[in-house]
A and B are shown apart, each in its own frame.
Chain A
Amino acid sequence: MNANAQKHSPWLFWFAVLTAVATLFLIGIGGLVTSHEAGMSVPDWPTTYGYNMFLFPISKWVGGVFYEHSHRLAASGVGLLTTILAVWLWLKDSRKWIHWLGVTAFLLVVAQGILGGLRVRWHMDSLGIFHGAVAQSFLVLLCLLALFTSRWWQNSETEKQIPVRRGLRSHVFFVTILIFVQLLVGATMRHQHAGLAIHDFPLAYGKIWPDTSAVAIAGYNAQRVSATSESNVTAFQIILQMVHRLVALLIFLGVAAGAWLALRRLGGQDPLTQIALFWLAVIFSQIALGAATIWSDKAADVATAHVLVGAIALVTGALWCAIAFRRSALTKIGGG
């Protein structure tokens, strides 16, 4: 092992894992908030119906309030975990750069809390989209912190490494960026509060590409009857869902190609190949959940699972990239 190598702290690693898992859980509750259209059910912030949020009586957690208030409490928990993690990293870890990653996580979680509050106070749906994007970025950062504090990461210098070619690294990196873009499109769809813009899949209003003329839109709206998605649909919303479908197809092809390339170039036993195959399985699940979201008329639990698996897909790509870039750096240093 390198003389300057960081001494591994299993407690710190497991605490980072806990914080990342709690964040994934928080994103899940956030998904439930939007799936149940409950984001504005608590009009005040940082109080809840005038109460200190930690003292809000459980008897009043009804309807949409249950989801929104749970989201706020879970967010407070993640905020506390992140603060402890940042301080712990600063005190315990000898790597300067990881100190600043911890500080970044702390600042992000504070900003995220304020964003969520302002979205409620200012009645701004666009802030909700931004809130969703920051949530995904924050999860990636926490997962990277868990990776960087793991024994495997800290000892990997001594392992026999097969270099990852630049082409494969770039390929996976761009597919990961595409997944992030896809999550932004998904967040924009959710914050339109229009329910499902297209109710059928794999076709769209019975066609490969739906008619978005004014007459066609009027016809769709005349037939749209839902208990909770009362808004009329617009051509923009229909096109947005079609973009989401097309990007999903691109991601599937990109991830499948990445897994195939990893298998060919690195071999089946390489951890990066195994992660790439896991990634492909995640994308399969995500496409199935996307279809199920439509077929179930956007059932809240299915739509929320779609959000969660989307987050896992992003994290998987980001971790793969981190490992591959690190390996390339090490093999260069070692003359590989």
Chain B
Amino acid sequence: MTGKNPFEKLDKAFENRVRLQIMSVLMVNERYDFNSLKELLDITDGNLASHLKALEKDEYISVNKSFLGRKPNTNYAATETGKKAFKQHLDALELLIKQQKKG
């Protein structure tokens, strides 16, 4: 048994399923645009926007706004901080599973 409580290592930002999913996508893709994310996660504009804002506020993702012709195109990418936080969160999940198997 490790002395520390693995629950404390879980990142609060990823308690929400949608935020966890957004980070998963940005871990394996250099960048992803808003509409593709919306299609992939199958959620509403407002819902996605609010979770993206939260991740942006934590500086886990960076936002890049541009125009494709006249259409605004917003791209998101994971920052180094975000990637590190996500990896730590995964490690904590792994630890939790190991402990549950023992118990």
Question: Are these two chains actual partners, yes or no?
Answer: no
